[in-house]
Each structure stands twice: as C-alpha cells, then as structure tokens.
Structure 1
Amino acid sequence: MRSLLCAIMLFPPFALTAFAIDGDRQMDEYQINAFRNVKAEGSNGNYLVRGEARPLEGTFYFSVEDGHVEYIKEKQVFMKDKDLNWEPIQIQIQIPKETLPDNGTLLINLYERNREGRIMNSYPIILQRFK
C-alpha cells in the first residue's frame, strides 16, 4: 500500500484520484466515482466510517494501516445493489488501544479491484493522527 501512495505522489495525474483527507472533510463526486461523502469519526481504536459507494463490480475492499503496520488486513464488502446506484456504507473499526501507534497517522483505505486484481479508485481517509 505504501508503494501505491508513493506512486500517487510521484505521478501527478493520479493525485486527483487518490489522496488522504481528514475524516470531517468530503471529496467531490467527480474526483473518485466509486466513493463519495465519506467521513470518519471516533478515536482511540474505535471508529465509524460512513459514506456512499457504487463500485463497478458490486464489491469493494478496505484495510487499515499507518504506513508501516497493517492493523486490519483487506476485507471485502458486498453491495446490495449491483446497478451502480449510490448506496450508503457504514464500517465499524475496532483496534485494541494498546496496539495503536504512538506516532503517525491511522488510515482506512477504501478501494476496488479490477478483474486482474489490481487496486483502483483508492480512497484513503484519516481515522486519527497520533503524536
């Protein structure tokens, strides 16, 4: 996942389609078509992520990491509506407090996979910053 973020920073055409935003901010619909109005709330290992999704294949994935440690390995989410209509999503994240980083930024990465298994439409959201 780190290499994906590095590639985004090195190749500006991708910068508009994948970057981390604070959980209380929103991204415009035209930037990433698979996810919109995604917000995160919570702290100290308990987070709630809400928004809307319309993944191309009716499924999307998420993982939680800080750039060094993966706290939640890839999980798949199946949508009810496969007709590309916006559907509400809600993801509850629980990470034991003692395993959280002392310093860094905890992210949830929402994304799709194409038929070849490659990540597309990456949508990282900051869950919490630790100092």
Structure 2
Amino acid sequence: MKQLKSLLMIMMLILVVTGCTSTGESKSIGGAVSNDEGTVSQMEEGFIFEVTDNSVLVLDQVNTEDFDKTWNDISESYKGSAIWLQTNEASTLMVGQKVQYWIDGPVAESFPMQGSAEKIEVIAERSVENKAFRNIKVTGLKGKYTITGEGRVFEVTMNYAVSDGHNYLVEDFLTLDMGAPEWSAFTLDIQIPEEKLPLNGTLILELFEYSAEDGSVINLFSIPLESFR
C-alpha cells in the first residue's frame, strides 16, 4: 500500500513539473532568451563597426582608433569574431556603440558571419570628440545625412568633407555662432546624389579646421556616415 502511494505521488510530481515547463511562455535563461517555439537565442555583445540601410557589422573587439577605418582596412589583421546582422533598426544605430544582440535563426559561417537580429540593445555610446569637435551624432541613409555636434574653432569657421575612400564628394565650410574657446552647437545637412554613392565602400565624414599659422589641416575628426555593400 505504501509503495502504491509513493508511486502515485511521484507521478503527480512529474505531471506538475511537465505542466510548468510547457506553457509556451518566453523565458530568460542567463544571457539567453527562449521563445514560444522553445528555441534559445544566446545573447552576445560587441561594437557596431559599420552600418548600412538594413544591417550592421558587429565586432566583439575593436581598438578605438579603428572606428574611423573601414572593414576592408582591418579585415586581414582582425583576429576577433565579426558578424553582419540584418535588422530593421539599422537607421537608429551608430558606429562605435556597444550593443547586446540576440540572433534570430541560422547563422552563415562566413567571415564575417551573417545572420538576422532578433533584438539589438545599445548599452554604451561611443565617446566621440577631440580638441575642436565633440558630441557628434549622425542620422540618415542613402546619401541624405544630418550631423549634429559642437565645435570649438578659431575664427568661427569649421570645415568639412565627405569621401568614399578614393574621392571627395563634398567639400565645404560652416560659420559657427561662437569661436574658441567657447563651444558652439552646429547642424550639417549633407546630400549626395545617388549616382555618386559607392556600390561597395564607406562614406567618411571629415571635420577639421585650417591652421592660422601655416594653413595646414588641424584637429581632424573622422566618422563613418554609411557603408554600402
């Protein structure tokens, strides 16, 4: 009789445990997320290195000075992991941001790897500044960009240019409200005709000023606008 009662209790416990784990609800398991189908997407971290209109290139390790370069510049010497993630959030993300991401579905084992992002969360912004420029932010895609930030230049004139790595597509200047040593907020609206956009490459924005002493370029600040592939 005692054995029968013990057997019944064990069966009831099994039913309770099975019912609790088969509700189909999403669960967080450490750094992973379990979806309704029961598959688990592992959370990873990295730094956004390039941005296109529908994907981002994420590296797990990168030197600060390399953010102003392109993947082609560092690919041969890069030793970490790299992945292109397709995402509808690409237009809201920026080069240099540290992110956490979850992959949705299979991953192509190329280099960089390729997959789709289930979710991307920014956990740290890139600190972008030098002696003359700070708080630089870029928005826009497909040749239409808005750049905001602060400048501290002598004679209230800052210069800017956009290159595709081979040729300069834009070269111009902007007069700020105040000159150094004060910081002055600015906004740049840049448009590049579609026929001038690279088929494969990265647009780089350069902010700088000319030396009052010898006319040389000083305080050069570079930041990627958009990558095309």
Question: Is 1:106 the equivalent of 2:203?
Answer: yes
CA RMSD of aligned residues (A): 2.5
How far the C-alpha of 1:42 sits from its partner, in A, is 0.6
Question: Taking every aligned residue pair, what percent have the same amino acid on both sides?
Answer: 35
Residues 83 and 118 of structure 1, relative CA distance in 2, 3 Å threshold = closer
1:118 matched residue in structure 2: 216
Partner SS, residue 82 of structure 1 = coil
1:84 aligned partner = 181
State which of 131, 135, 138 in structure 2 corresponds to 1:37.
Answer: 135
Q: What residue number does 1:67 align with?
A: 165
Is the CA contact (8 Å cut-off) linking 1:18 and 1:123 kept in structure 2?
no
Unaligned runs of 5+ in 2: 1-63, 70-94, 98-124
Q: Which residue of 1 aligns with 2:68?
A: 20
Secondary structure of the equivalent of 1:57? helix
Secondary structure of the corresponding residue to residue 154 of structure 2 = coil
Structure 1 Cα separation of the partners of residues 142 and 211 of structure 2: 33
Moved over 4 A (4+): 16-19
Measured in 2, the distance between the counterparts of 1:18 and 1:123 equals 13
Going by fraction, where is helix more abundant, 1 or 2? 2
* TM-score of the pair, normalised by structure 1: 0.76
Give the number of the structure whose alpha-carbon radius of gyration is greater: 2
- Please report how far the alpha carbon of residue 76 of structure 1 lies from its aligned counterpart in structure 2 after TM superposition: 1.7
Q: Would the alpha carbon gap of residues 83 and 67 (structure 1) be closer, same or farther in structure 2, given more than 3 Å must change?
A: closer
Q: Distance in 2 between matches of 1:89 and 1:23?
A: 21
Unaligned runs of 5+ in 1: 1-15
Q: Aligned pair in 2 of structure 1 residues 26, 88: CA closer, same or farther (>3 Å)?
A: farther
Q: Number of residues paired by the alignment?
A: 114
Q: Which has the higher contact order (CA 8 A, sep 6+)?
A: 1
TM-score normalized by structure 2? 0.45
Which whole-Å CA distance do the structure 2 matches of 1:81 and 1:127 have between them? 26
Change (3 A) 1:84 1:19: farther
Q: Distance in 2 between matches of 1:89 and 1:99?
A: 26
